[in-house]
Amino acid sequence: MAKIEYLEAVREFFTSSKFIKFFYLICFTFVITAIISSQNFFFQNIIENGKSKKEIIAQKTITVEDVERTKAHKRDAVKKVEPKLVPAEDEFIKSNLKTLQNAIFQIRTKDISEKEKINKINILLDLTDNPKQDFIVNFLLNVDDESLREAFDKASISLNNILQKGISETDYSKDNVNKIIHNNLVSNVSKRQVAVICSILEQVIVPNLVVDDTATELAKLNAQQSVKPYMVTFEKDEQIVDKGEPITRLKRDALREAGYNVYELNWQGVLSVYILVLLVSAIYLAYLKFFEKKYNEPRYLSLSAVLAIIACATGVLLPTGFSPYVIPIPAVVIIASIFLNPRIAFLLSTLILSVMTIGIQYKAQFIVVFILLSLISMITTSRIKYTRRFDLIKLGFHLGVAGVLIMLSLYLIDKCLIDVDNYLIIKDCTFIFLNTLMSSIFALGLSPLFESTFHIVTPYGLAELGDHNQALLKRLQMEAPGTYHHSLMVSTLCEAAAEAVGANPILARVGAFYHDIGKLKRPLFFVENQSYFSIENPHNNLTPRLSKMVITAHPKDGVEIAKEYGLPSVINDFILQHHGEGIAKYFYNQAVAEEGSENVKEEQFRYTGPKPNSKETAILMIADAVESAVRAMKGATSEEIENIINKIITERLDDGQLEDSPLTLKDIKIIATTFSRVLRGMQHDRIKYQEDIAKEFKKNKLEIPAKALDTDLENKIKALEASKTIAPTDKNLDI
């Protein structure tokens, strides 16, 4: 027994939806990894043990950067940069001059012998080896105070001139300092003052320029950046590498530019690609789970997987050296925008581009171009109108123009740094333009195939279903004309309300067209069709319970008919949910009257549901009831229309029929206002023209303009005036 329970638990685990999703995830990641890694198996690897296995000739002109030589040039540029010096604090040097001046004046005034004064001056100034030592000392001790102060003032001015220009450590030598002092002396210095001022300044001058590390590093960086990349060109038919030649960095880059596979992807590399693919897939699934729960279903995930496989396979299967800008990334974005939504489309394309750029080793320019183009596609597809298919072709053209502008901007930036072949620019711009244009055409052509394969209805599919020449709608028009007319009125209400509250107006309108197709099974049992066929109400001969069974069966019958005609599953929601779990009140009240309230339960007269779970189906539920009620009132006033709308909405809210829908109270208020406005338009008064139209105009003192009526209408008026008789069915002409 325990073994059976264990086996049953194992079976449930392997058949659970979570395990199935996990299994498909593993399969998908293996497929993508195999596709990305297959480039190493489908195309011969031309490098073995760091040497070329064959001679390679350039099939086109190739220009690549010699990275090693560029680095060497940058190192040389850095070596040539001199350290950047900045002035240090100069007040210390100036204060030394002032101190020296004060010390000399003190020595002059001291009551000591001349010899002692001379010794102190020599010690203070260190005039050893100065040939003019005696003259300088004599000047400092014996000149009058005014002349000495003048000498120090001129020394101070000269010092300021020197400090402003600065003295570095390399400039600081005895001979050099003396030359600097002489070059910066003030112009009005007398010959006898020159030696004195020079000897004074020699005592106080020290280097005042220090190295600014930040400025020096910035200068080195600027020097590096100013070095242009060293480019090497291999002309067409020129040998890139000889057989057995060691592959340097330059040769490897040239071979890659020529389109050859220069990577040896071992099992470690394959595992790395698989981890990347698994991580990217997990990001996509997490986004859908937390932000786009509606699209976290197998059919949407399958479509995403197919688009990713197509894009990656195209990139791998491209011929050697062919432009990667033909990869149908724009088609992926457009199709995903149509079948999913633009936000998911942008995320999907970005993740695919990340895997391809890393796995197939595309340049950074590749991912930049396509990410920007995907972003533009996301914005433009969100604004497209799906009523005209040609708009999608126009979208492809506009995306092509945007792609060319993006490509040109990137290449013009490259031209500032390296010499880019103009032919390459024209070729890539042409490819990106044709890619986007053809992507829109492919998306348009593949949409029906994807719709039928993945059972996803698109706005284009909805537009087709909304065509009144559809076989099912034609059948509804012929076999149940009252229901058909009712559906048309309801569709108008639904479309207006859906647009007002931000729901899908096309889906709401088309769902309303088909919501009552179940009545085709027994059209004469529904009151809107009985008057057309002029028959007695069949329910007069049935019990309320039997009548309820016939009436409440039409949602289920509608699903069967929808399946027979191949309608998408989203239409089934409108068919099943437009009554929710509401009660068939008319027959319930009949049953209560006949059997007594104690013998009748409301649950016995309810529809099987489910309740509306989207804005569109909830709008349909309200519109269906409102249109029927207003039509039954025949000529209701605006106030009566508003009252009946509020009454029906209140009943549905009190009965809990809208509790599963995402409609807010604000949405419901907007819906009520929209219904009232549309129904007032449907119920507008008409002017009735009596038998003698011309006399009626004259009676109201109105003149008929000579050209106001066309020939046919004038003929009708003359015929009416002549006959004076009108058939009962033509008694009133509504214009």
Task: Convert the pLDDT of each residue in 69-81 to its tens digit.
Answer: 888 888 888 888 8
Q: What percent of the chain has pLDDT over 90?
A: 37
Which amino acid, 95?
S
The count of domains in the chain is 4
Structure tokens at 550: 């016939």
Distance CA 697, CA 684 (A): 22
Nearest residue to 35 (alpha-carbon basis) of 353, 273, 259, 293: 273
Helix, coil or strand: residue 239: strand
Does the pLDDT at position 527 exceed 50?
yes
pLDDT above 60: residue 701: no
Residue 1 pLDDT exceeds 60: no
Query: Residue 6 falls within a domain, yes or no?
Result: no
Q: Are strands 688-689 and 209-211 parallel, antiparallel or unpaired?
A: unpaired
- Specify burial of residue 248 (Cβ count, 10 A radius: 0-12, 13-18, 19+): middle
Residue 36 included in any domain? no
Q: 493, 680 in Cβ contact below 8 A?
A: no
Backbone φ and ψ for 309, nearest 5 degrees, come out as -65, -45
- Residues 168, 174 contacting (CB under 8 angstroms): no
3-state secondary structure of 7: helix
Kindly state whether residues 578 and 508 are assigned to the same domain. yes
| Candidate ranges 32-36, 239-243, 246-250; pick with highest mean pLDDT | 32-36
CA distances from 91 to 138, 152, 153, 568, 711 (A): 29, 16, 16, 89, 109
For residues 620 and 706, membership in a common domain is answered with no
Q: How far is CA 713 from CA 117, 333, 462, 704, 728, in A?
A: 138, 55, 40, 12, 19
Residue 385 lies in a domain: yes
CA distance 300 to 598: 50
579 within a domain of the structure (yes/no): yes
Q: With contact defined as beta carbons under 8 Å apart, do 179 and 105 qualify?
A: no
Kindly state whether residues 111 and 178 are assigned to the same domain: yes
Beta strands, E only, 478-577: none
Phi, psi of 609 (to 5 degrees): 80, -160
Last residue of a domain, one of 392, 422, 456: 456
Closest CA to 460 of 469, 449, 471: 449
Whichever domain contains 677, its CATH number is 1.10.3210
Q: Which residue is associated with the tokens 């590096």?
A: 224
Residue 311, pLDDT above cutoff 60: yes
**Stretch 370-376: mean pLDDT:** 93
What does the alpha-carbon distance between residue 569 and residue 456 come to, in Å, rounded to a whole number? Answer: 8
Judgement on whether residues 199 and 141 belong to the same structural domain of the protein: yes
Q: Report the alpha-carbon distance of residue 228 to residue 225 in Å, rounded.
A: 7
End position of a domain, from candidates 659, 682, 705: 682
- Indicate if the alpha-carbon torsion angle 473, 474, 475, 477 is positive or negative: positive
CB-based contacts of 310, cutoff 8 Å, min separation 6: 328, 332
Most confident of the following: 159-173, 379-393, 721-735? 379-393
Q: Can you give the three-state secondary structure of 586-630, one letter per residue? A: HHHHHHHHHHCHHHCCHHHHECCCCCCCCHHHHHHHHHHHHHHHH
Out of 180-189, 331-340, 422-431, give the one with best mean pLDDT: 331-340
pLDDT at 708 over 50: no
The DSSP symbol for 81 reads P
Peptide bond into 87 cis (omega under 30): no
Q: Which residues contact 12 (CB under 8 A, 6 or more apart)?
A: none
Could you tell me the CA-to-CA distances from 709 to 283, 697, 706, 721 in Å, in that order? Answer: 68, 13, 7, 16
pLDDT band at 718 (very low <50, low <70, confident <90, very high): low
Same domain, yes or no: 494 and 444:
no
Inside any domain, residue 223: no
Same domain, 558 and 591: yes
Domain assignment present for residue 34? The answer is no
The whole-angstrom separation of Cα 424 and Cα 428 is 6
Following CA atoms 116, 122, 125, 126 in sequence, which dihedral angle do they give, to the nearest 10 degrees? Answer: -150
Helices 422-454 and 390-415 sit at what angle, rounded to 10 degrees? Answer: 150
Domain span holding position 397: 267-456
Q: Which strand (E) or helix (H) includes residue 527?
A: helix 527-533
Same domain flag for 581 and 623: yes
Give me the sign of the Cα torsion angle 281, 284, 289, 292: negative
Burial of 711 (0-12, 13-18, 19+ CB in 10 A): exposed
Q: Is residue 5 part of a domain?
A: no
Q: Return mean pLDDT, the chain.
A: 82
Q: What is residue 480's DSSP assignment?
A: -
- Amino acid letter, 612: P
Q: Tens digit of pLDDT for each residue in 643-678? A: 999 999 999 999 999 999 999 999 999 999 999 999
- Above 50 in pLDDT, residue 735? no
pLDDT at 188 over 90: no
Tokens of 247: 């592959």
pTM (predicted TM-score) = 0.63
Residue 239 lies in a domain: no
Look at residue 709 and tell me whether its pLDDT is greater than 70.
no
Exposure of 326 in the CB half-sphere (CA atoms within 13 A): 13
Q: Verify that 507 and 646 share a domain, yes or no.
A: yes
Same domain, 697 and 661: no
Distance separating alpha carbons of residues 100 and 156, to the nearest angstrom: 11
* 3-class SS letters over 326-337: HCCHHHHHHHHH
User: Do residues 452 and 543 share a domain?
Assistant: no
Residues in CB range of 613: below 8 A, 6 or more apart: 573, 577, 660, 661
DSSP 3-state of 227: coil
Distance in angstroms (rounded) separating the CA atoms of residues 703 and 681: 28
pLDDT tier, 170 (very low <50, low <70, confident <90, very high otherwise): low
Residue 631: predicted pLDDT = 87
Q: Are 255 and 240 spatial neighbours (Cβ–Cβ below 8 Å)?
A: yes
Using the 3D structure, point to which of 398, 433, 456 is the last residue of a domain.
456
Kindly indicate the confidence band of residue 418, based on its pLDDT and cuts at 50, 70 and 90. low
- Above 60 in pLDDT, residue 627? yes
Is the Cβ–Cβ distance between 156 and 94 less than 8 Å?
Answer: yes
Asked if 192 and 340 sit in the same domain, the reply is: no
Q: Specify whether 594 is located in the same domain as 674.
A: yes
3-state helix, strand, coil in the chain (%, to 5): 70, 5, 25
**Cβ neighbours of residue 4 under 8 Å, at least 6 residues apart?**
none
pLDDT in tens, 431-440: 999 999 999 9
What lies within 8 Å, CB to CB, of 185 at 6+ separation is 154, 158, 194, 197, 198
> Per-residue pLDDT tens for 243-298?
878 878 888 778 777 766 665 556 777 888 899 999 999 999 999 999 998 898 88
- C-alpha 563/C-alpha 40 separation (Å) is 48
Structure tokens at 239: 């040998």
Say if residues 537 and 527 touch (Cβ distance below 8 Å).
yes
